[in-house]
Amino acid sequence: MQLEYANRHPSLIRRILGSGVTIEGWAVYTEQTLLDQGYGEGDLALRLSQLKFYLRAVGNAILDHRMHCTEMTDEEALRFLVDEVFQSEGEARLKVIRAKQSSVQLSTYFVGRMAHYRLRQQIQREMGARFNLGRYHEAVLKQGSVPVKFLPELVRSALGLPVRQAE
């Protein structure tokens, strides 16, 4: 859906270049939002599955940081993923290799999800009863997959809200 919206944007740059943080974060954000809005009719197995994928996003960010900013060994990373993030050993081994090959990519899921979630909370608080989730999502998607730092200003403008100075 994101790419469909991005392809509609008049800017060639926005059509072909996308922010991984925005794209991956949107995916994680919408997994939770769909269930929160009633998809699955409260199926606890579906919620558990969503929470497991969210734990994976959080674990990815922690792993990425620890492997690149501390002295976490491959064995410590493997134990972390298996014992604390509940990944299979095979999946964990591949994740350790992936983390070593692409610094910060594993963090994009969590960082992007938090950016999307926080922006929605800010706009929802500001708009109060006037807030409409569908209209909000449309305002986000029609911007294309721009870096999340630009979304607040663009979304506020699309919703007719005063644009705030960067915080």
* Residue with token string 């690149």: 68
pLDDT of residue 137: 98
Residue 167 pLDDT exceeds 70: no
Alpha-carbon gap, residue 15 to 106, rounded angstroms = 24
Q: Which of 150, 145, 154 shows the shortest CA–CA distance to 24?
A: 145
Q: Taking the CA atoms of 8, 9, 11 and 12 in sequence, report the sign of the dihedral they define.
A: negative
Identify whether 147 is part of a domain. yes
107-137: per-residue pLDDT in tens? 999 999 999 999 999 999 999 999 999 999 9
Identify whether 87 is part of a domain. yes
Identify whether 163 is part of a domain. no
Identify whether 167 is part of a domain. no
Identify whether 130 is part of a domain. yes
pLDDT of residue 10: 92
Task: Report residue 86's pLDDT band, with 50, 70 and 90 as the boundaries.
Answer: very high
More confident residue, 148 or 167: 148
Domain that holds residue 60: 2-158
> For the whole model, what pTM was predicted?
0.92
CB-CB neighbours of 1 under 10 Å: 9
Residue 166 pLDDT exceeds 70: no
Tally the domains of the chain: 1
Identify whether 85 is part of a domain. yes
pLDDT of residue 92: 97
The alpha carbons of the chain give a radius of gyration, in whole angstroms, of 18
Identify whether 166 is part of a domain. no
* Residue 99 buriedness (CB in 10 A; 0-12 / 13-18 / 19+): buried
